[in-house]
Structure 1
């Protein structure tokens, strides 16, 4: 009988496409490939998942709010853990963010299991991020993060390991005040892993894709992929593109994603007379996104938000796309990475950078530690490692 891994995630890419959801599902799929009996507990959703013995089993909790934490989620996940069959065969219980908090009271019933929390951020980090926006609505909502800190304090200490998905998250977990509630020794960093087979530097479909979109073969094509939320800085991507467009008249910008800020972004595009040059592509599956990256030349992510280790940037690196990103992101500036202040974009330097990278051969440059195969190996090592 294969060892079991139980993953608790309130949402998956079948609910909506987000970084946390993608990381959770990719991990589940690859652990299944490695021979584990993987079961993913989540809220209900309507999307169809192809029936396959090669995919993890999905256990949907019905009749509770979807893709959200709720009283129903905490109650039903606790009951599920209490009545789980063959508890002695479970080698790991993985909590995506707070997903498995309510199961911790039954930890002793799983004698062979490591309880692991995958942390995508902290209450304190989110609190600081909201304060930095100086927006009244955001500042007022930060009160929830203060309450979240007390909830974290009740649960963090019961996990065997807390996995930070990036350096910014690790720093938040190991610095005051969060270090007081989780213990520095149990924090380990396993950075987000990208499927390097899916997001490859292949460009065989570039010309065909451009033809489908009505883009000239030799046009300069920018691309962004994120939720269309004010903090993601898509408006800054548009502002940068508008400046470059003055010098590169054939340039195009592909905006992938959807979200509440889309009407404002479309209005901005119209005001800048760019409606024929900025293409809103809508939400894309990961396969569609990886394919679409073939027809782009550069990737933009001028986010205003404090990000842990954004998947979209890693995916672009894996696909070999040069980057123009916010200076506060933790990536090191280099030959294919240009960093700047989203509010003070140095157009001249950007144009020089574009000229420099435009003639470079397309080649993946994602660090090994950020590949999916490496990340999964690190998780498996935690299953066997003695907790500190």
Structure 2
């Protein structure tokens, strides 16, 4: 029986919003419904010097570790916290590399299984940076080579590595990762979302479109997520320019929700391509408000050049009943292939064709998300794995 779950994560939604942070928190809150003690040890949380509770989860911020990033202080303080813990947790979950320093001293509580949640691999990150065709990204690739060496040294210390998507499984079982990870150590548990948190909201749709000055007959293409060069939102803008050149400017609006380091370049590209009447920058919105923008959209568009694990934005859009246009192979899920519209996102003409061909989701709509991607199933699969590993360790 799982009585306690101890999670090491460098960031949570209290730091910033991202797919990895959202999933870890959502799972922790779901586990807290049936597990008496769920804790997340994390970096310093702005405005919170002491431990606090939210959604049934206890958050333990390590105040000397810089918020949201790996640092020498994080490795030292997370290890010190582990050493100070007198009672053994039922399981330790490392969100990405979060527990790398702790797992090296797992002998302190030898019956506790250690599980790593992998959202990607360093090899995938290196490939993503090369695919982005951006000198700034390529210049940071050597850092990921160092990360790859570190990963190969640490993977072997975990009882299981949970891949959040099929692309991650393929990377983990390929060389050089396979030198450190036997195939039987890898378990696929796809990301999951809580359907009711992302269901269609007709009132929100009307409110958002009214605020943006968009009538109900216009097809809204929603691009929701962080503005980073590897996300290649410039592809979306070039697709918009192609639609305009084909005489469809009045039929489409591209709504970009989020912020990030690439925002300035994207705004400049909008001016360069004369797309001011077709593109709306909404900026960063609170996680609870993202649902409104999915409701306001008619099509969800992902143009990333990254080798993704399993993008939460795609699952959230499908839960809202939105048709999703994605780059070919970006999602890498056989179960989702039937509900996604794949396209060569690097070709503006093909992207424009796809957006014109996809029937816009207007009126009341039901979820398109297969049941295996629901948060409840995801949380249950983890708990089953934790129980299996606990029995093996005790045996």
- Global fold match (TM > 0.5): yes
Q: Tell me the equivalent position of 2:15.
A: 15
Asked if 1:259 is matched to 2:263, the reply is no
Deviation at 1:335, TM superposition (A): 6.7
Specify whether residues 157 and 331 from structure 1 end up closer, same or farther in structure 2 by C-alpha distance, changes over 3 A only.
closer
Q: Tell me the equivalent position of 2:92.
A: 93
Deviation at 1:52, TM superposition (A): 5.5
Asked if 1:349 is matched to 2:353, the reply is yes
* Alpha-carbon distance between aligned partners in 2 of 1:334 and 1:216, rounded to the nearest angstrom: 31
The 5 Å alignment of 1:1-388 reads 3-46=3-46, 54-87=55-88, 90-245=89-244, 246-329=247-330, 330-331=332-333, 336-345=339-348, 346=350, 349-350=353-354, 352-354=356-358, 356-358=359-361, 362-386=365-389
* Alignment size in residue pairs: 385
Deviation at 1:208, TM superposition (A): 2.6
3-state SS of paired residue (1:57): strand
Specify whether residues 236 and 175 from structure 1 end up closer, same or farther in structure 2 by C-alpha distance, changes over 3 A only.
same
Q: Is the 8 A contact 1:129 1:305 kept in 2?
A: yes
Bigger Cα displacement from structure 2, 371-380 vs 202-211: 202-211
Deviation at 1:94, TM superposition (A): 0.5
Highest relative contact order (Cα 8 Å, sep 6+), 1 or 2?
2
Deviations 1:338-386 (A, max 9, x none): 21112213256325513x3456862211121211111100110011114
Deviations 1:248-267 (A, max 9, x none): 50422211111111111111
Normalising by structure 2, what TM-score? 0.90
3-state SS of paired residue (1:299): strand
3-state SS of paired residue (1:385): helix
CA RMSD, 1 decimal: 2.5
Specify whether residues 77 and 362 from structure 1 end up closer, same or farther in structure 2 by C-alpha distance, changes over 3 A only.
same
Unmatched 5+ residue regions in structure 2?
none
Specify whether residues 153 and 2 from structure 1 end up closer, same or farther in structure 2 by C-alpha distance, changes over 3 A only.
closer
Specify whether residues 9 and 244 from structure 1 end up closer, same or farther in structure 2 by C-alpha distance, changes over 3 A only.
same
Unmatched 5+ residue regions in structure 1?
none
Specify whether residues 227 and 347 from structure 1 end up closer, same or farther in structure 2 by C-alpha distance, changes over 3 A only.
closer
3-state SS of paired residue (1:12): coil
* Alpha-carbon distance between aligned partners in 1 of 2:228 and 2:17, rounded to the nearest angstrom: 13
3-state SS of paired residue (1:376): helix
Q: Is the 8 A contact 2:228 2:260 kept in 1?
A: yes
* Alpha-carbon distance between aligned partners in 2 of 1:116 and 1:331, rounded to the nearest angstrom: 23
Bigger Cα displacement from structure 2, 261-270 vs 146-155: 146-155
Bigger Cα displacement from structure 2, 167-176 vs 42-51: 42-51
Deviation at 1:153, TM superposition (A): 2.2
Q: Is the 8 A contact 1:15 1:47 kept in 2?
A: no
* Alpha-carbon distance between aligned partners in 1 of 2:254 and 2:133, rounded to the nearest angstrom: 29
Bigger Cα displacement from structure 2, 174-183 vs 375-384: 174-183
Specify whether residues 282 and 351 from structure 1 end up closer, same or farther in structure 2 by C-alpha distance, changes over 3 A only.
closer
